[in-house]
């Protein structure tokens, strides 16, 4: 195995083996994350039942995680095949891309709790709210913040790991905010359940859309818990890394490499867990994912059995799909939607 260097210090032996092992494992985690992320993004985008605000945030989380994959993969390929540990000496465009991706993903996680608060406070009207204002505002603020931090780190500080009191304060604030958000999220879940029991118990007449939105708030609170956990882990990893560089807790070269390798590996697993959690724990997305996988499996199984003439004979929609399959999929989506409406109207969550 080739020797590695960290800030001019030669790394060999057990530490070198561990660094390479974690690098291979991290790269092996990033590779399947890419198609899973693309598949999850397609499912979220095509799901029309999700509220527009929630859909935008979930897509933003997936986008931020995806944008963080390619700069990290660049570093890993260099580390594995060129035998240079570039944790602290990455090119400026890699440093800038990493900073932007971290910031964008973390901001999307913070906005998610704001969206859940709005859905709780305005439960009587939130389901009918279809404006793009909320999405445009938070996306604009996030993009401006990402650009500012990227330019600051890449051009002013000249390194992703160079820190000032302002940047350290921002990371500490993000960590505190994440802890507060976990508390708020748990309170929102309890409040929605209590409000549902109160309105259901006193027999108060409600519009179907209001009852459905209240029921959906409770269900969504349970389903998004893994997303909040992934968001918290991302913020925590960034916080731990920042504190170490700021206060020099770990200074020995070998220990620093192992520390960074472990944090980046944990972040890679967390990035893979985000789309998996969305598809597994949200029933609408889970149903859409299973239907899509069934269609793909059926297409692969029957592709050789259908002649080109038979395929051309089928009427196609504007996307090139058989028209009959499209109608069947739309009917299944409608049936699933009205089943949820019926459940929200007559059943407790």
pLDDT of residue 160: 53
pLDDT of residue 25: 92
* CA pair distance 89, 40, nearest whole angstrom: 33
Q: What is the mean pLDDT of residues 122-140?
A: 86
Q: Tell me the two tokens of residue 277.
A: 């959690």
Model confidence over 169-199: pLDDT tens digits?
A: 878 888 888 888 888 888 888 888 888 777 7
* Cβ neighbours for 295, distance < 8 A, ≥ 6 positions apart: 325
Model confidence over 267-293: pLDDT tens digits?
A: 888 888 888 888 887 777 888 888 888
* Residue 126 contacts residue 118 (beta carbons within 8 Å): yes
Which of 224, 202, 47, 193 is closest to 120 using CA atoms?
193
Q: Tell me the two tokens of residue 240.
A: 């731990």
* Residue 76 contacts residue 23 (beta carbons within 8 Å): yes
pLDDT of 309 strictly over 60: no
Which of 264, 269, 324 is closest to 90 using CA atoms?
264
pLDDT of 8 strictly over 60: no
Q: Rounded to the nearest 5°, which phi and psi values hold at 316?
A: -115, 150
Model confidence over 222-252: pLDDT tens digits?
A: 777 777 787 788 888 878 887 887 777 877 7
* CA pair distance 119, 54, nearest whole angstrom: 10
* Residue 349 contacts residue 193 (beta carbons within 8 Å): yes
Task: Sketch out the chain's domains with CATH numbers.
Answer: 4-346 (1.20.1070.10)
pLDDT band, residue 28 (cuts 50/70/90): very high
pLDDT of residue 10: 62
Radius of gyration of the chain (CA): 24
Q: Report yes or no on whether pTM surpasses 0.75.
A: no
* Cβ neighbours for 10, distance < 8 A, ≥ 6 positions apart: 3, 4
Lowest mean pLDDT segment, chosen from 98-107, 169-178, 320-329:
320-329
* CA pair distance 25, 303, nearest whole angstrom: 35
Q: Residue 6: beta bridge partners?
A: 9
Q: Tell me the two tokens of residue 254.
A: 């070998």
């Amino acid at each position: 195995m080739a020797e590695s260097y960290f800030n001019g210090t030669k790394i060999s032996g057990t530490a070198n083996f561990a660094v390479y092992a974690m690098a291979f494992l991290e790269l092996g985690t990033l590779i399947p994350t890419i198609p899973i992320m693309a598949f999850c993004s397609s499912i979220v985008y095509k799901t029309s039942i999700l509220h527009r605000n929630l859909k935008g945030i979930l897509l933003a989380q997936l986008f931020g995680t995806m944008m963080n994959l390619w700069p990290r993969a660049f570093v890993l390929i260099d580390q594995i095949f060129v035998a240079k540990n570039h944790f602290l000496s990455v090119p400026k465009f890699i440093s800038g891309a990493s900073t932007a991706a971290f910031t964008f993903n973390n901001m999307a996680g913070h906005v998610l709790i704001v969206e859940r608060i709005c859905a709780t406070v305005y439960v009587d009207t939130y389901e009918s709210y279809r404006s793009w204002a909320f999405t445009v505002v938070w996306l604009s603020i996030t993009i401006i913040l990402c650009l500012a931090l990227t330019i600051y780190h890449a051009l002013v500080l000249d390194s992703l790991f160079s820190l000032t009191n302002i940047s350290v304060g921002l990371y500490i604030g993000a960590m505190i905010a994440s802890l507060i958000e976990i508390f708020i999220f748990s309170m929102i879940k309890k409040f929605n359940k209590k409000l549902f029991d109160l309105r259901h118990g006193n027999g108060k007449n409600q519009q179907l859309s209001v009852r459905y939105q209240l029921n959906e708030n409770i269900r969504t609170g349970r389903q998004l818990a893994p997303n909040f956990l992934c968001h918290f882990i991302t913020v925590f990893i960034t916080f731990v890394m920042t504190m170490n560089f700021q206060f020099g807790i770990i200074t020995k070269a070998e220990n620093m490499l192992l520390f960074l390798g472990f944090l980046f590996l944990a972040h890679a697993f967390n990035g893979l867990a985000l789309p998996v959690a969305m598809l597994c724990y949200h029933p609408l997305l889970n149903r859409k994912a299973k239907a899509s996988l069934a269609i793909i499996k059926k297409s692969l199984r029957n592709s050789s059995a259908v002649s080109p003439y038979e395929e051309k004979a089928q009427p196609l929609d504007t996307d090139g799909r058989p028209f009959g399959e499209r109608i069947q999929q739309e009917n299944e989506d409608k049936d699933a939607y009205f089943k949820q409406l019926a459940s929200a109207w007559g059943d407790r969550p």
